Amino acid sequence: MSLKDQITEDMKTAMRAKDAPRLLTIRGLLAACKQREVDERIVLDDAAVVAIIDKLVKQRKDSIAQFSAGNRPDLVDKETAELHVLETYLPQRLGADAVAAEVATVVAELGTELGRAAGPGDMGKVMGAVKTRLAGKADMALVSAAVKKALAP
């Protein structure tokens, strides 16, 4: 069963259970998936669905930070509940050590390819390569920090 099918089944379960907050979050996720399918005229695979979920998770985290700064605990609670629902669909994330090891591998490969040691100016190239390898498997903020650390002089 694909991830999108699982999300649809969870929506039906939430409807039967009359779990309105969960249902609202799942419907928003499915709407984002459908919007991308219509815009790009494609059928989303699991990796694309995970990318959409990552985007929605990042939006929720940003909203939580903004609402916390604005002293809006009611909205913080709502966004946190949505965040927890979305996170259930994400695969197990890699830890900091695994991310650092993968980044070190990519930096070494890029250095070999360039014929010189990779430096801070190569951050875009390294991030592009790491992003394709770790898409959906790691938090990109953690990846970015690991790349900056690996490329530091």
CATH of the domain at 59: 1.10.1510.10
* CA–CA dist 51, 49 (Å, integer): 5
The answer to whether the Cα torsion of 116, 117, 121, 125 is positive or negative is: positive
| Domain end among 87, 104, 130 | 87
* CA–CA dist 101, 99 (Å, integer): 5
In angstroms, what CA-CA distances link 31 with 27, 66, 80, 96? 6, 24, 20, 32
Whether residue 47 has pLDDT greater than 80: yes
What pLDDT score does 107 carry? 87
* CA–CA dist 54, 64 (Å, integer): 15
Domain hosting 13: range is: 3-87
CA-nearest of 142, 109, 146 to 118 is: 109
C-beta separation of 93 from 139 below 8 A: yes
**Is there a single domain that holds both residue 12 and residue 78?**
yes
* 18-22, 80-84, 117-121, 140-144: range with lowest mean pLDDT: 117-121
| Domain end among 63, 87, 111 | 87
| Domain end among 59, 87, 115 | 87
70-125 confidence digits (pLDDT tens)? 999 999 999 999 999 999 999 888 888 888 999 989 888 888 887 787 778 888 88
- State the CB neighbour count (10 A cutoff) for residue 21: 13
Per cent of the chain over pLDDT 90 is: 54
Please tell me the number of Cα atoms within 13 Å of 37 on its side-chain side.
Answer: 12
Chain mean pLDDT for the chain:
91
Long-range contacts formed by 27-30: CB under 8 A, 24+ apart: 28/56, 28/82, 29/53, 29/56, 29/86, 29/89, 30/4
What pLDDT score does 8 carry? 96
What pLDDT score does 81 carry? 96
* CA–CA dist 26, 151 (Å, integer): 39
